[in-house]
A and B are shown apart, each in its own frame.
Chain A
Amino acid sequence: MESNTANIPNTTDLSAQIHDLVQKTAQYAQTGPQITYCDVRGVIGESNTLSMSDSEGKTDSTNGIGIGIRVLADGAWGYTSSTQLDAAKLKGKVDQALKIALGLSHAKKDKATVRELDPVIRSHKTKYKINPLEVDMKEKHEILTHMFDCCEHEEIIHNQARISAGQTSKWFANTEGSLIETQATKTIISLSAVSHRDGKTSMNYDVKAGIAGFEFIKNLDIEKFAKGIYTKAVDFLDAKPFKGGAMDVVLSPSVGGTLVHEVFGHAAEADWVTNGRSLLKDKLNTPIGSEMVTICDDGSMSNSWGSIYFDDEGIQNKNQVLVENGMLKGYMHSRETACKMGVPETGNGRAQDYNHRVIPRMTNTYLKKGDFEVDEMIEGIKNGIIVDKYTCALEDPAGGSFELKTLGGYVIKNGKTETPIARTTLSSPSFIDTFNNIDALSKNMSKDNIGMCGKGHEDWVPVGNPSPFIRIRNLIVNGGDS
């Protein structure tokens, strides 16, 4: 973990102003006799993006400020926000949030509460060598152009690529006296390529993203990255639909990481445990998978896309073992759910932005690696597939199912890869059966699998899903062959 803990410096006028306002607004809330708890989150965000396709070059830049206020009163939460840095208006927003909370409390059956914690005064800024916002657009333009040059192929009909850079500074203060400043710098590069031959179209894409400076892209082998994408886009033109059914599957780290996130991770978010949505309710210290299955969530991983260090409730996130050798050991908590279940806070209370709600969320959730070579995993399959990349996925914590869409891979017959496949949809009636059917994990794992995770219908946060290759017996597979 790259950490820089010190007294909070006031580096710029705007930073100093927000720092001051956040602190004073929380202090004002301390004087409200009806307020059980209040926290104030100030954000300054800045980002820029250069995106290019064969037909278009687009440049975007955005910056914004905002302060979100959350009040707990009589067991209910009220949220308000403002983009105006005005102390009097922010006090008014505290009063408004209190009014909302009290207005809701009459309808609230199960009163929310949080455990009182000692104040935390900390600062954490992710380290970087090159500020990606300050890198000349010309340099970024050259990188994208070089990627396009690498993709030149008669069967590639369209390319789209982008480089995005962002920096978010956050200030957190609460009525317990905590004051935390964090800053995260992000760098993203992506490329998609569309291929076409004889009336058949296919595509491939990849995204690399990290909590890192521009050195993240400088250290990337751009040519290898681009060629890997377009070569597969062309290869997918040879892919054929295949007859589906129940079969054995080897999941790449991209698909495997997403499976763990969707199938297990959401069900282990404690708000869905406490409200009875999750099938993991009442399963602590019981087996939920094969002994190979050990799953952790770690928001402190260096440079990883889902790293947060401190959550949006001011709790430090650390590596947490959720499943150990197949036994469920814990859930991911916000302050409210930790208090409700009588367990320590885990630092998983996250919000999309200053004006969004704080709820239990994953950070970097991963299945620990095993000791198999990928070839050995394939050799152990008589009739099945290996899938390459996830495109999207959906959880089903109440029903125990899941849905995973993948792109690329091969049919496996008698331990050998055969025909290439394109789009595949995977599912299973029971995720506990799925975890029990894991019988091989690869020696190597990849940290590259990242995404934006929505919960329910909104609340998008960045997450990382590092994973080894995973072999699972007996999944439902549809390969599009009718």
Chain B
Amino acid sequence: MMFEEILKSGNCEVYSSNVRVADANLDNDVNALRSTNESGYSIRVLENLKIGNASSNDFSVQSIRNTLETAKKLSGFGKEIPKNFSFCDTGKKSDAKQNFDNLLSTQLDECCSKLAEITLQKASDQNVKITNCSIKTIQVDFRVQNSLGIDKQEKGTFVVAAIDSKANTNKPLAELSSTFSSRILDEKEYEKWVSERFELTKLFVEPKKIESGKYPLLIEPGVFSPLIADTVGYWASGKSRVDKISFFEGKKNQQVFSEKLSITDDALFENAPSTSSIDMEGNPTRQTEIIKNGTFNSFFYDQLYASYFDEQATGNAKKQSGMGGEKIYSSSTFCGSNNLVVERGSHSIEELKQDFEGIIIEGAGLPMADSETGEFGFEIRNGLLSKNKELTPVRYGIFAGNVKAILNQISAFSKERDTVPDERTAEFNSSCVCPWAKLENQTIVGGK
């Protein structure tokens, strides 16, 4: 028990992780395969109501002691936090069964190679060119121990594929970006998905310039979900409350969006990136209803931000794998969303498309929103103008506005939903499970 000594020595928490990644890089050819593995730990100490955090990937006894000392030293420069803060002390104290040595990297490599083969084969069969592609199979094992006796562990398998593809032609076209995310190594599921995406890719040849004007929009989940994650996922966090920048502050039980909108933060949702029995402080996770029929219900918290409001933590302590999941241990803990699950509508996407006249947005440049203000703007890269039952590929139009406004203007959601990982990383990271969204009468500034 390598951390026993320091857990006894004071008020601290140790988060340790082991991440194995197999990553195949392709274009029209297979370029390289990476097989990597990194373990590391972070130590968070609480001294005089201040928190310090330090991390390392050196598990020697001396390094662990040094890391603890660094965290203690740094804690002196933190801000004082509420007196009622403590590390996690809830639920079953211990369920950690084993250390990080039971993962099969060869299986990850083999599965990754197989998915790469499927991708290349499908591209060839369907006459599509891959311009950039990364396929990752990942296994993450993390453990949380603290001085209050908590010792919990969680594991996860993740498959993430990010593909840019284009029709095999010299005509002007728009590439299509696609992201696949799953917790299951299921080749058939992947094959079906990649085949559908390649068929869609072929539609975006010789796109017409969008004319400026007002259009009904039908927006696919990969484009719509970042707008929700960047705003609702931010405003519902206990941190935004403390920072006094939450749009939801003072609006409990008030109608804030369209009645058609219900969003739950759900860490128990099946097969989603953030699904986990515990959060990264060891708290049991749960479902937190944020918006119900347009009415704001509740915030979510980690231990720190719950302590500001005498609330219970809701299992929302996160670490961001960010720029390379292998180093997830080095991220400091923050209060973030798990899987933001948007309630589905009553019509299938086929039904919504049937008599639709407007722009179907299948892909966009950077569909992101500014978290503080809700403002957004993005280029429609893969648009289909639906008119008189005919579809014409369109692009070069910018859709901009404010998320606060468009969430009040939703006219329909589809029955079908997609799981969209945040920033195309998956390892216990935030995600949004989102249906297609229909909006009426939106202004597009076009290239014509």
Q: Name A residues whose Cβ lies closer than 8 Å to a Cβ of B.
A: 48, 50, 52-66, 68, 76-83, 96-97, 100, 103-104, 107-110, 112, 137-138, 140-141, 157-158, 160, 194, 201-203, 244-246, 271-272, 275-277, 352-353, 355-357, 391-394, 396, 398-401, 403, 405, 422-425, 427-429, 452, 454, 456-458, 460, 476-482
Could you show 5 A-B contacts with beta carbons less than 8 Å apart?
A100-B35, A355-B324, A399-B173, A428-B396, A428-B447
Chain B residue numbers with a CB within 8 Å of A275 are 27-29, 131
Chain A residue numbers with a CB within 8 Å of B79 are 52, 55-57
CA–CA, A392 to B402, complex, Å?
17
Chain B residue numbers with a CB within 8 Å of A276 are 28, 129, 131
> Chain A nearest CB: distance from B100 CB in Å?
12
CA–CA, A405 to B365, complex, Å?
11
> Chain A nearest CB: distance from B379 CB in Å?
4
* 17 other A-B residue contacts (CB within 8 Å) besides A55-B308, A107-B116, A396-B365: A57-B78, A61-B54, A63-B58, A65-B57, A100-B109, A107-B117, A108-B30, A244-B212, A357-B23, A392-B366, A403-B365, A429-B209, A452-B323, A454-B323, A456-B162, A476-B396, A480-B377
Known: A59-B78, A398-B175, A482-B401. A427 touches B34 (CB 8 A): no
B382-417 residues with Cβ-Cβ distance < 8 A to A are: 395-402
Chain B residue numbers with a CB within 8 Å of A138 are 77
* Best-buried of B70, B120, B132 by chain A (most CB within 10 Å): B132
> Chain B nearest CB: distance from A162 CB in Å?
11
> Chain A nearest CB: distance from B398 CB in Å?
4
B443, A482: Cβ atoms under 8 Å?
Answer: yes
B368, A392: Cβ atoms under 8 Å?
Answer: yes
B32, A79: Cβ atoms under 8 Å?
Answer: yes
Within the complex, which residue of B70, B323, B398 is in contact with A425, where a contact is CB–CB below 8 Å?
B398
The 5 closest A-B pairs by CB, nearest first: A425-B377, A57-B79, A59-B74, A403-B365, A478-B398
Interface membership of B191, Cβ < 8 A: no
Interface membership of B146, Cβ < 8 A: no
Interface size class of B (residues with CB under 8 A): 35 or more
B30, A104: Cβ atoms under 8 Å?
Answer: yes
Chain A residue numbers with a CB within 8 Å of B377 are 405, 423-425, 478, 480
Interface membership of B287, Cβ < 8 A: no
Chain B residue numbers with a CB within 8 Å of A137 are 73-74, 76-77
Interface membership of B9, Cβ < 8 A: no
B26-71 residues with Cβ-Cβ distance < 8 A to A are: 27-40, 42, 50-58, 67, 70-71
Within the complex, which residue of A68, A425, A481 is in contact with B378, where a contact is CB–CB below 8 Å?
A425
> Chain A nearest CB: distance from B60 CB in Å?
10
Chain B residue numbers with a CB within 8 Å of A100 are 33, 35, 109
Chain B residue numbers with a CB within 8 Å of A246 are 447
> Chain B nearest CB: distance from A333 CB in Å?
15
Interface membership of B357, Cβ < 8 A: no
B324, A458: Cβ atoms under 8 Å?
Answer: yes
A245, B212: Cβ atoms under 8 Å?
Answer: yes
> Chain A nearest CB: distance from B82 CB in Å?
11
B99-125 residues with Cβ-Cβ distance < 8 A to A are: 109, 113, 116-117, 120
B243, A55: Cβ atoms under 8 Å?
Answer: yes
CA–CA, A61 to B209, complex, Å?
50
Known: A60-B74, A64-B330, A138-B77. A107 touches B54 (CB 8 A): no
Chain B residue numbers with a CB within 8 Å of A245 are 212, 445
Interface membership of B332, Cβ < 8 A: yes
Interface membership of B164, Cβ < 8 A: yes
> Chain B nearest CB: distance from A25 CB in Å?
16
B122-150 residues with Cβ-Cβ distance < 8 A to A are: 129, 131-134
CA–CA, A63 to B64, complex, Å?
11
CA–CA, A457 to B25, complex, Å?
11
Binary flags per residue of B321-342, CB closer than 8 Å to A gives 1, else 0 = 0011011001010000000000
CA–CA, A59 to B327, complex, Å?
17
Interface membership of B424, Cβ < 8 A: yes
CA–CA, A64 to B57, complex, Å?
5
CA–CA, A476 to B77, complex, Å?
47
Chain A residue numbers with a CB within 8 Å of B25 are 357
In chain A, what residue has the closest Cβ to B39?
A: A83
Chain A residue numbers with a CB within 8 Å of B323 are 352, 452, 454, 458, 460
Within the complex, which residue of A82, A107, A405 is in contact with B120, where a contact is CB–CB below 8 Å?
A107
Known: A79-B32, A158-B244. A399 touches B174 (CB 8 A): yes
CA–CA, A203 to B70, complex, Å?
34
B445, A202: Cβ atoms under 8 Å?
Answer: no
A456, B36: Cβ atoms under 8 Å?
Answer: no
> Chain B nearest CB: distance from A282 CB in Å?
11
A457, B38: Cβ atoms under 8 Å?
Answer: no
Chain B residue numbers with a CB within 8 Å of A399 are 172-175, 381, 395
B396, A59: Cβ atoms under 8 Å?
Answer: no
In chain B, what residue has the closest Cβ to A474?
A: B447
B67-94 residues with Cβ-Cβ distance < 8 A to A are: 67, 70-71, 73-79, 81
CA–CA, A207 to B163, complex, Å?
31
A59, B53: Cβ atoms under 8 Å?
Answer: yes
> Chain A nearest CB: distance from B70 CB in Å?
5
B54, A476: Cβ atoms under 8 Å?
Answer: no
A107, B30: Cβ atoms under 8 Å?
Answer: yes
CA–CA, A381 to B134, complex, Å?
44
A62, B58: Cβ atoms under 8 Å?
Answer: no
Chain A residue numbers with a CB within 8 Å of B131 are 272, 275-277, 398
Interface membership of B5, Cβ < 8 A: no
Interface membership of B152, Cβ < 8 A: no
A201, B162: Cβ atoms under 8 Å?
Answer: no
B330, A79: Cβ atoms under 8 Å?
Answer: no
A457, B36: Cβ atoms under 8 Å?
Answer: no
Known: A58-B332, A201-B245, A394-B365. A277 touches B27 (CB 8 A): yes
CA–CA, A478 to B75, complex, Å?
46
Chain B residue numbers with a CB within 8 Å of A481 are 443
Chain A residue numbers with a CB within 8 Å of B332 are 58, 60
Interface membership of B202, Cβ < 8 A: no
CA–CA, A112 to B31, complex, Å?
8
B219-270 residues with Cβ-Cβ distance < 8 A to A are: 239, 242-245
B35, A244: Cβ atoms under 8 Å?
Answer: no
> Chain B nearest CB: distance from A430 CB in Å?
9
Chain A residue numbers with a CB within 8 Å of B397 are 476
A355, B402: Cβ atoms under 8 Å?
Answer: no
A202, B324: Cβ atoms under 8 Å?
Answer: no
In chain A, what residue has the closest Cβ to B244?
A: A157
Interface membership of B11, Cβ < 8 A: no
Interface membership of B4, Cβ < 8 A: no
Chain B residue numbers with a CB within 8 Å of A63 are 55-58
Chain B residue numbers with a CB within 8 Å of A458 are 134, 162, 323-324, 424
Interface membership of B166, Cβ < 8 A: yes
B56, A64: Cβ atoms under 8 Å?
Answer: yes
Known: A64-B330, A104-B113, A403-B366. A457 touches B57 (CB 8 A): no
CA–CA, A262 to B445, complex, Å?
21
A457, B132: Cβ atoms under 8 Å?
Answer: yes
CA–CA, A142 to B247, complex, Å?
31
B396, A427: Cβ atoms under 8 Å?
Answer: yes
Chain A residue numbers with a CB within 8 Å of B271 are none
Known: A81-B36, A277-B27, A457-B132. A356 touches B379 (CB 8 A): no
Interface membership of B372, Cβ < 8 A: yes
Known: A110-B29, A478-B377, A478-B445. A141 touches B77 (CB 8 A): yes
In chain B, what residue has the closest Cβ to A59?
A: B74
Chain B residue numbers with a CB within 8 Å of A60 are 53-55, 74, 332
> Chain B nearest CB: distance from A109 CB in Å?
5
Known: A244-B445, A401-B379. A423 touches B54 (CB 8 A): no
B74, A398: Cβ atoms under 8 Å?
Answer: no
Known: A104-B113, A399-B175, A399-B395. A457 touches B379 (CB 8 A): no
Interface membership of B442, Cβ < 8 A: yes
In chain B, what residue has the closest Cβ to A100?
A: B33
Known: A63-B58, A65-B58. A425 touches B30 (CB 8 A): no
CA–CA, A157 to B245, complex, Å?
8
